[in-house]
């Protein structure tokens, strides 16, 4: 009995040791340790503090200023070396440790450098993707952008009634925090659903057009932003909100106008993209705003276009579509809407440039995924498109021929000759033209022949 128990314990220990070994091996594959610290790409050496010394900063005038005390036993990655002041080891963040007997400097072995470079190459080969979700909110807009580096940006939220659907969709994508929420303009079919969103997720930044609008929905939304102490941003034209000109992922505001007379013309127009694939999101911007974009920017081309104003003919001018040249276009609208969206002329213009059209009304939630070189489109359903109701052909009504009533003859003829011009057989007593002076024989018939 004891022998059997002993064997079980030994087997358990061996299995546990094997499991521990595998975990350590897996960890070793993701981290290259050098002493207490992990070796990083770009690191040229390591500084170990042998006795308390000072961390310094090199000022613009060449002098040194103290940052803090570095404690004995601490290790620091070294990324650069300067010969100033007898030698300075750059440890990042613009800080240095002076070369002296209190500091031991070492360089990594060739094998460690080869290992860290191999790790970097593997990370570069890992495919990163950008996803843009066009959420089906009926007659409205709501777009979730998920960047390759993990940022989550929501552009509009549809109507208030669609808010719960937007929250459910965002949750289904594993999102717990929104880095940016954008209200393109104050119309209820764009901002209403943002109220449930703000009540359901942590939000870092709220981006607003700044357009003044006095509706209960807009007031409730802005009060919620204030009460939750969310960072409030009113961007300007050409502002780059995320990234820069050299970034793989970026998000830029091409247009916004807080002083626009019309809500639609206050719309925040966004261009975003990952490497070689660009998206243009035009909210409800009219053709006037499209003309501004054409005149202001050298290149407004995009692979994917969210067409303006739900496919209305107030947007998507021929000149604009020809300049954007989208291979894919998203039309966000509600089925059988009372506005007749999308308008036929917009669809024809998009077809003329060879753009593939997707519609939330028939394709439901639409996801565009890009690896930075190409993009693919996934639609969550396929509904039948409503056919326009043909009005019955109305038969022409035969109008009756109406003979105009002759104008009443003048009364008071001078003689029978004039009267007979209008009444050849004369007139009888009681007729307006009858006069006793023309009835010579007194038979009650004047000017008879």
Q: Mark whether 427 and 287 lie in a shared domain.
A: no
Extract the residue ranges of the chain whose pLDDT is less than 70. Answer: 1-30, 120-127, 385-411
What is the pLDDT at residue 420? 81
Q: Last residue of a domain, which of 70, 91, 119?
A: 119
Q: Find out whether 260 and 266 touch, Cβ atoms under 8 Å.
A: yes
Q: Mark whether 106 and 194 lie in a shared domain.
A: no
In a domain? residue 386 = no
Q: Mark whether 109 and 147 lie in a shared domain.
A: no
Q: Mark whether 175 and 216 lie in a shared domain.
A: yes
What is the pLDDT at residue 160? 95
What is the pLDDT at residue 85? 92
Q: Mark whether 293 and 333 lie in a shared domain.
A: yes
Q: Last residue of a domain, which of 379, 395, 427?
A: 379
What is the pLDDT at residue 1? 44
As to burial, measured by CB atoms within 10 angstroms (0-12 exposed, 13-18 middle, 19+ buried), residue 8 is: exposed
Please report, for the domain that includes residue 332, its CATH number. Answer: 3.60.15.10
**Residues ≥6 apart with Cβ < 8 Å to 99:** 86, 87, 88, 89, 105
Q: What is the dihedral of CA 334, 339, 345, 350, to 10 degrees?
A: -20
In a domain? residue 18 = no
Q: How many domains does the chain have?
A: 3
Tens of pLDDT, residues 82-130? 999 999 999 877 789 999 999 999 998 888 888 877 776 666 666 689 9
Q: Mark whether 141 and 275 lie in a shared domain.
A: yes
In a domain? residue 21 = no
Q: Find out whether 45 and 108 touch, Cβ atoms under 8 Å.
A: yes
Q: Mark whether 172 and 321 lie in a shared domain.
A: yes
Q: Mark whether 109 and 135 lie in a shared domain.
A: no
Angle at 359 (CA atoms; ends 358, 361), nearest 5 degrees = 155
- Domain encompassing residue 336: 130-379
In a domain? residue 384 = no
What is the pLDDT at residue 124? 60
Q: Mark whether 221 and 147 lie in a shared domain.
A: yes
**Residues ≥6 apart with Cβ < 8 Å to 83:** none
Q: Mark whether 368 and 420 lie in a shared domain.
A: no
Q: How far apart are CA 333 and CA 339, in angstroms?
A: 10
Please report, for the domain that includes residue 108, its CATH number. Answer: 2.60.120
In a domain? residue 313 = yes
End-to-end, the C-alpha distance of the chain in Å comes to: 156
Return the H-helix or E-strand segment holding 251: strand 249-255
**Residues ≥6 apart with Cβ < 8 Å to 43:** 77, 78, 79, 108, 116
In a domain? residue 427 = yes
Q: How far apart are CA 127 and CA 333, in angstroms?
A: 33
Q: Mark whether 273 and 239 lie in a shared domain.
A: yes
Q: Last residue of a domain, which of 119, 148, 181?
A: 119
What is the pLDDT at residue 403? 55
In a domain? residue 409 = no
Q: Mark whether 112 and 134 lie in a shared domain.
A: no
In a domain? residue 353 = yes
Q: How far apart are CA 267 and CA 383, in angstroms?
A: 30
Q: How far apart are CA 200 and CA 393, in angstroms?
A: 53
Show the DSSP H helices in 95-135 as ranges: 110-125
């Amino acid at each position: 009995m004891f022998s059997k128990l002993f064997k079980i314990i030994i087997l358990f220990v061996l299995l546990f040791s094997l499991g521990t070994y595998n975990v350590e091996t897996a960890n070793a594959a993701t981290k290259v340790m050098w002493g207490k610290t992990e070796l990083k790409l770009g690191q040229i050496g390591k500084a170990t503090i042998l006795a308390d010394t000072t961390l310094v900063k090199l000022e613009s005038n060449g002098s040194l200023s103290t940052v803090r005390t570095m404690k004995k036993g601490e290790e620091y990655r070294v990324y650069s070396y300067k010969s100033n002041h007898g030698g300075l080891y750059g440890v990042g963040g613009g800080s240095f440790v002076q070369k002296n007997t209190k500091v031991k400097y070492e360089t990594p072995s060739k094998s460690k450098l080869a290992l860290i470079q191999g790790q970097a190459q593997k990370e570069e080969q890992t495919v990163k993707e950008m996803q843009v979700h066009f959420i089906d909110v009926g007659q409205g807009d709501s777009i979730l952008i998920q960047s390759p580096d993990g940022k989550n940006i929501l552009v509009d939220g549809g109507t208030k009634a669609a808010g719960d659907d937007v929250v459910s969709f965002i949750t289904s994508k594993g999102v717990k925090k929104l880095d940016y929420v954008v209200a393109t303009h104050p119309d209820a079919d764009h901002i209403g659903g943002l109220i449930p969103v703000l009540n359901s997720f942590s939000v870092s930044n709220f981006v607003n057009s700044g357009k003044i609008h006095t509706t209960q929905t807009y007031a409730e939304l802005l009060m919620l932003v204030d009460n939750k102490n969310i960072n409030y941003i009113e961007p300007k034209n050409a502002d780059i909100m995320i990234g820069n000109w050299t970034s793989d992922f970026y998000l830029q505001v091409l247009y916004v106008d807080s002083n626009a007379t019309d809500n639609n013309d206050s719309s925040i127009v966004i261009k975003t993209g990952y490497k070689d694939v660009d998206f243009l999101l035009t909210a409800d911007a009219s053709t006037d705003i499209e003309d501004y974009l054409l005149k202001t920017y050298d290149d407004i081309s995009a692979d994917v276009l969210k067409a303006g104003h739900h496919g209305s003919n107030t947007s998507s001018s021929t000149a604009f579509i020809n300049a954007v040249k989208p291979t894919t276009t998203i039309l966000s609208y509600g089925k059988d809407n009372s506005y007749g969206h999308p308008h036929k002329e917009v669809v024809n213009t998009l077809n003329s440039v060879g753009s593939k059209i997707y519609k939330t009304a028939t394709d439901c939630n639409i996801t565009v995924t890009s690896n930075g070189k190409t993009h693919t489109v996934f639609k969550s359903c396929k509904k039948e498109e409503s056919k326009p109701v043909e009005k019955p052909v109305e038969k022409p009504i035969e109008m009756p021929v109406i003979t105009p009533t002759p104008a009443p003859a003048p009364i008071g003829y001078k003689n029978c000759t004039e009267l007979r011009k209008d009444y050849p057989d004369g007139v009888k007593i009681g007729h307006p033209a009858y006069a006793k002076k023309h009835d010579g024989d007194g038979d009650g018939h004047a000017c008879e022949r």
